[in-house]
Amino acid sequence: MKWLARGLIILMLFSAMAAWWHVRRKSSERSKMPLVAYAIVERGDVVASVVGTGVIEPLTVVEVKSKAAGKVLKMPIDVGDFVRKGDLIALIDRDQVGAELRQATAEVDAATARLQQAQTEYQLTAETIDAQIEQVRRQWEAAYARLRQAQKEVELLSAQYKAQLKDAEHALAAAISQLKQAQEKAEAQPRLSRSSIQQAEAARNAAIERLRQLESAIHPLERAEAEAALRQAEATLAAAEQAAKVRSEELRRLVEGVHPQALAQAQASYEQALTKLNQAERNLKRVQELHEKGFVSKRQLEDAQVEYETAKAAFESAKTQLETIKQQQAAELAAAKAQHAEAQAKVNEAKAHLASAKKRLETLTTRQETELRDAQAKLCEAEATLEAAKANEAQVRIAQSELEAARAAVKRAEAQLESVKAQEAQIKVKQLEVEAATAALQEAHAKLRAAEKSRLQVKLRQADLKSAQAQLERALASLDNARTRYNDAVVVAPRDGIVLEKLVEEGTVISSAASAFGGGTTIVKLGDMSEVYVDTQVDETDIISVHVGQDVLVIVDAIPGKHFNGKVVRIDPRTTEEQGVVYVHVRVKLLESDNRLKPGMTTSCEFIRAWKENVLRVPSEAVKDFDGATFVDVLVREKPKSLRNPIAVEQRKSAPREGVPTVSWRSGMAPQFMPRSEPRQARAFIDGREGIFWVISKRVRVGLRGNEYTEIVNGLREGELVVTSYTEPHVMRQQPVGPLGRPRLQRRQPK
């Protein structure tokens, strides 16, 4: 029994030693494995940018100077103060300019008094000379009026004499002509009386025949034709009214039955399509907002876009169908209305023809009655003319009496002509009065010229007045200059801004900016911070990636945690060199303002060169280049049976590329990368627990290489683990390296 117990104890000791040895061997093997840092292949944004440093600058910097020279009495502003346009900057001593202002005011008063005196003398002289000239002018006008009156009287008498003489001669000729006519009438009157009786008898016979024809033949025939036309017009009106009734019924059927039903159906389809379009548009906006926030995928956004386009096409189709039905119904309604109007027009035309036929019958009756009355009247007139012709034989005695009267008229016209010729002597007397008035006018004209010469005195007074006005203007100009210099002693802010620099203090004597050589003394410098810019230095190797209008993210060192958006507005054409490094100055405009921004603050600007959203990405330090290809080390749980991208031993043992140094892993620096042809075990911590993984190299195709991430186009799947760095046993952790083995600059990922 004791032997069995000893055996068990020994067996347990051996088992414990074997277990301890196995654990120690496993621990030794684990300690020889490298520890790796990894990253998960995921989707996200890849940003490539250029970084530069700069300083805050205001929109403009204004140097405020004084136009007045003297001692600064007051300066109520200090560096950093915000001033508005018109605020007091400095007050300059103005005792001297005040004395100049008072002297200029006195000179203006004296010039004003001289001007008033010159105006008084000019007005007095002008009024006296004008009165004299006006008196002589009235005398000349009176003489001219008398001359014109005498000339008109002569002209009037001459015209009257000529007219009366001509009238008397015409009256004598007319009397002689009338005498001849009376003689001829007295000789022809017997023959005319006999001819008139014969003509009157022939006219009476013709009137009797015309009355007989109207009563027996013409009137009955015309009345029969008018009555037949009336009956035909009544038949035409009845047919037209029947056709109009049919067209009216067709129009009513379209308006009340067919058209409203079709239009209501099209309107309902249109409103249903509009409702679906509004729903699709609201859904699209909602999906776009969720996509921008990252809550939905791009596929859902595209589906919403397709749904919106489909609803929009259906809406346009329903709208087109509604407009087509409206146009078609309008055309049908217009055609029906036109047919109805045409039928109604025919009814109106038939009514017009009927009215015309009735009017024609009435007119015919009236005309026939009128013609009968006219024929009867002409018969009566012809009989009266015959009686008058028979009674006209007494005109022979009347013609003899007219002959005697014409002879007496000739004698009276001859006496009137002799009376008119006797008025010629009065015309000669009036011509003598015209000559006397002409002499008086010449005398008055000479007096007027003498009075006009006295106007030279007025011109002299006028010259004195202009001289006094010029002196007053000079005095006023001097006063304005003195007042301006007096006001210039108060220096105010020319615009809104911040006081960047205060160059003088109270008590300082400054020079004038208007007269001093070199532009005068600068009092303060104002900066306009309504627009804020950044003067950024960009390395010459990166400037090719910067362009005007490019988006910029600006970080101000004095305001941590705050990012400002900006735009590139200018790239300087020249470069600058500082400590052997060549830079290009780029001017960036901030799109947002902040009261904490001050001129001269240092900034860091990130110029966005390229940006891809929602792409498959890995950290850039996980991507390695070898012999023109791109590789990534991937962690897997199980040992793979074969590698997908085996690398030939000869290629792996080839010499390193030019420019890429070969460094020992044990030195603590990044070695040159070589793809693995065989899997290798490594340690990694996942969720705080250490695990053993296999590392394999995968060949990938990359897209955009960003500052922190690189786009993977092909070769990896989302969720895989990629190695970013190795830590060999007893070696410090390596510094992250870029695709070519160079140390990476750690840059911020823009939001």
Summarised one tens digit per residue, pLDDT across range 287-327 is: 888 888 888 788 888 888 888 888 888 888 888 888 888 78
Output the pLDDT for position 748.
Answer: 40
Using left for φ > 0, alpha for ψ between -120 and 50, and beta otherwise, residue 555 falls in beta
In the chain the first and final C-alpha atoms are separated, in Å, by 79
Q: Which alpha helices (H) appear in 630-690, and where do they start and end? A: 649-652
The tokens for 235 are 């038949």
Q: Collapsing DSSP states into helix, strand and coil, what is residue 447?
A: helix
Residue 7: count other Cβ atoms within 10 Å of its Cβ: 10
Q: Compute CA 661 distance to the chain's CA centroid, rounded to the nearest angstrom.
A: 66
Entry pTM: 0.39
Residue 485 has pLDDT above 80, yes or no: no
DSSP character string of 325-336: HHHHHHHHHHHH
Output the pLDDT for position 605.
Answer: 93
Least confident of 226-235, 271-280, 625-634, 657-666: 657-666
For residue range 706-722, what is the model confidence (pLDDT) as tens digits? 888 999 999 999 999 99
Q: Phi, psi at residue 144, to the nearest 5°?
A: -65, -35
The tokens for 323 are 């407009």
Give me the mean pLDDT over the 389-406 stretch. 69
Output the pLDDT for position 537.
Answer: 92
Residue 294: count other Cβ atoms within 10 Å of its Cβ: 10
Q: Using CA atoms, how far apart are residues 608 and 50, in angstroms rounded to an integer?
A: 7
Q: Phi, psi at residue 519, to the nearest 5°?
A: 95, 5
Q: Using CA atoms, how far apart are residues 449 and 452, in angstroms rounded to an integer?
A: 5
Residue 242 has pLDDT above 50, yes or no: yes
Q: What rounded mean pLDDT belongs to the chain? A: 77
Output the pLDDT for position 28.
Answer: 58
Q: Phi, psi at residue 336, to the nearest 5°?
A: -65, -40
- What b/e sequence results for 312-331 when a residue is b if at least 16 CB atoms lie within 10 Å of its CB, and e otherwise? eebbeebbeebeebeeebee
Q: Using CA atoms, how far apart are residues 323 and 315, in angstroms rounded to an integer?
A: 12
* CATH numbers and ranges of domains, the chain: 32-45+615-727 (2.40.420.20), 47-94+494-611 (2.40.30.170), 98-392 (no CATH)
Which stretches does DSSP call E strand in 620-677? Answer: 623-626, 629-636
Q: Collapsing DSSP states into helix, strand and coil, what is residue 320?
A: helix
Indicate the pLDDT class of residue 333, thresholds 50, 70 and 90: confident
> Which residues is 685 bridged to in the sheet?
690
Indicate the pLDDT class of residue 217, thresholds 50, 70 and 90: low
Instruction: Sheet containing 490-492: give its strands across.
Output: 490-492, 88-92, 70-74, 509-510
State the residue for tokens 């290489």.
Answer: 705
Residue 475 has pLDDT above 90, yes or no: no
Give me the mean pLDDT over the 531-552 stretch. 91
Would you mind telling me the total number of residues written for the chain in this entry? 751
Residues 90 and 74: beta-carbon distance below 8 Å: yes
Output the pLDDT for position 648.
Answer: 40
Most confident of 209-213, 382-386, 710-714: 710-714
Residues 583 and 537: beta-carbon distance below 8 Å: yes
Give me the mean pLDDT over the 196-202 stretch. 74
Q: Using CA atoms, how far apart are residues 593 and 566, in angstroms rounded to an integer?
A: 11
Output the pLDDT for position 25.
Answer: 61
Output the pLDDT for position 240.
Answer: 78
For residue range 680-703, what is the model confidence (pLDDT) as tens digits? 888 888 887 888 889 999 999 999
Using left for φ > 0, alpha for ψ between -120 and 50, and beta otherwise, residue 80 falls in left
